[in-house]
Amino acid sequence: MSTLQSLAGRHIVVGLSGGIACFKSAELVRELTREGATVQVVMTEAATQFITPVTMQALSGRPVALSQWDAREPNNMAHINLGRGADAIVVAPASADFIAQLAQGRASELLALLCLARPRTGEHACPLLLAPAMNREMWSHPATQRNTTQVVADGAVLLGPAAGEQACGEVGDGRMLEPEELRDELIACFQPKVLAGRKVLVTAGPTFESIDPVRGITNHSSGKMGFAIARAAQEAGAQVTLVAGPVHLATPRHVQRIDVRSAQQMHDAVLPRAAAHDVFIATAAVADWRPAAEAGQKIKKDGSGQPPWLALTENPDILAAVARLPDRPYCVGFAAESEDVARHAREKLTRKNVPLVVGNLGPATFGRDDNKLLLVDADGERELATADKLTLARELVREIAQRLHRHGAEQP
Q: Using one digit for the tens of pLDDT, what is the confidence trace for 46-77? A: 999 999 999 999 999 999 999 888 777 777 67
Query: Directed axis angle between helix 22-34 and helix 179-189, to 10°?
Result: 50
Domain final residue pick, 159, 189, 219: 189
Per-residue pLDDT, 370:
82
Instruction: Name residues of the chain where pLDDT drops below 50.
Output: 1-2, 409, 411-412
Containing structural domain, residue 123: 11-189
- What pLDDT is attached to residue 94? 97
Query: Cα separation of 92 and 159, whole Å?
Result: 9
Domain total of the chain: 2
Residues 183 and 220 in one domain: no
How much is the pLDDT for 410? Answer: 52
Asked if 228 and 340 sit in the same domain, the reply is: yes
Q: Report the predicted TM-score, pTM, of the whole model to 2 decimal places.
A: 0.87
* Non-local CB neighbours of 47 within 8 Å, separated by 6+ positions: 16, 17, 18, 19, 22
CATH of the domain at 43: 3.40.50.1950
pLDDT for 1 equals 36
Domain boundary among 124, 156, 189: 189
Shared-domain flag, residues 18 and 160: yes
168 carries an active-site annotation:
yes
Burial (Cβ within 10 Å: 0-12, 13-18, ≥19) of residue 141 = middle
Give the whole-angstrom CA distance, residue 33 versus residue 399.
Answer: 29
What is the number of residues in the chain? 412
Is 1 part of any domain? Answer: no
Instruction: Mark whether 23 and 148 lie in a shared domain.
Output: yes
List 115, 126, 168, 189, catalytic entry: 168
Q: pLDDT value at position 362?
A: 66
Q: How far apart are CA 198 and CA 195, in angstroms?
A: 5
Measured distance CA(370)–CA(388) in Å, rounded = 4
